[in-house]
């Protein structure tokens, strides 16, 4: 009887592992829309409207809103020169942008204008940490700085990486203010949990995050 239970438990374990493996393969790359260049308020009106929100409607972002949001954050605005909407120290482009939603985690590939799957499942709690209001936002954007592109993990590299992440976050804040979305810049998050989930190297540092949604 004991042996039978052990075999049954082993079989359930294998089935669970197989299910998780299949589940991880369920996510597909998402082709984003081209950015809409003629939307939003003037820059002065946007600055006037800029504020932080901690209350979100749970409605999913449309593909166009998500596409424009990511392009505004750190998209490619000069394809011939491979340069971005957000400046970076020495043009090292060390900020990677991850998108968390209820289905999984994706990495934004600005040059192919796609979201590449990283992990299936809802991992927004790692972004939220102890602040559950984040969970009501349909999308959270995580900025990760790869300090190896800046020369290492010395204080100067950390400072430049933090500054560049702040610029990307400000792009997110301004876009949201300009088109009527809600967001708030945050530094709180489960750093170790995110490192494990995203398989980050020692030089890759989660810097900031912005939950984003429609106003409630």
* Dist. CA 155–CA 87, nearest whole Å: 20
Interacting residues of 20 by C-beta distance below 8 A, sequence separation 6+: none
Domain boundaries, the chain: 28-213
Percent of the chain with pLDDT over 70: 88
Check residues 75 and 14 and name the one with the higher pLDDT.
75
Assessment of whether the complete model's pTM goes beyond 0.75: yes
Q: Is the pLDDT of residue 146 over 90?
A: yes
Half-sphere exposure of 216 (CA within 13 A, CB side): 15
The CB density around residue 92, as the number of other CB atoms within 10 Å, is 18
* Dist. CA 70–CA 113, nearest whole Å: 9
pLDDT band at 25 (very low <50, low <70, confident <90, very high): low
Q: Yes or no: say if 116 and 183 are a contact pair by the CB < 8 Å rule.
A: no
pLDDT band at 51 (very low <50, low <70, confident <90, very high): very high
Both tokens assigned to 181? 């979305």
CATH code, residues 28-213: 3.40.109.10
Q: What is the pLDDT of residues 176-202, one digit of tens each?
A: 999 999 999 999 999 999 999 999 999
Q: Is the pLDDT of residue 21 over 80?
A: no
* DSSP character string of 20-57: HHHHHHS---EEPPPP-TT-S--HHHHHHH-------B
Q: Are strands 95-100 and 204-213 parallel, antiparallel or unpaired?
A: unpaired
* Dist. CA 28–CA 204, nearest whole Å: 24
pLDDT band at 90 (very low <50, low <70, confident <90, very high): very high
């Amino acid at each position: 009887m004991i042996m039978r239970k052990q075999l049954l438990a082993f079989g359930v374990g294998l089935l669970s592992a197989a299910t998780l493996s299949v589940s991880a393969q369920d996510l597909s790359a998402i082709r984003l829309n081209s950015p809409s260049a003629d939307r939003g308020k003037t820059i002065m009106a946007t600055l006037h409207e800029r504020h932080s929100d901690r209350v979100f409607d749970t409605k999913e972002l449309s593909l166009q809103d998500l596409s424009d949001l990511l392009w505004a954050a750190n998209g490619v605005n000069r394809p011939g020169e491979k340069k971005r909407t957000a400046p970076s120290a020495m043009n090292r482009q060390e900020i990677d942008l991850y998108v968390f939603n209820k289905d999984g985690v994706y990495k934004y590939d600005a040059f192919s204008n796609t979201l590449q799957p990283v992990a299936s499942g809802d991992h927004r709690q790692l972004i939220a940490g102890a602040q559950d209001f984040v969970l009501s936002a349909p999308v959270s954007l995580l900025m990760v700085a790869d300090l190896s592109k800046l020369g290492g993990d010395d204080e100067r590299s950390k400072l430049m990486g933090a500054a560049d992440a702040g610029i990307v976050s400000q792009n997110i804040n301004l876009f949201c203010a300009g088109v009527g979305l809600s967001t708030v810049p945050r530094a709180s998050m489960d750093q170790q949990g995110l490192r494990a989930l995203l398989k980050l190297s020692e030089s890759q540092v989660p810097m900031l995050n912005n939950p984003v949604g429609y106003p409630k």
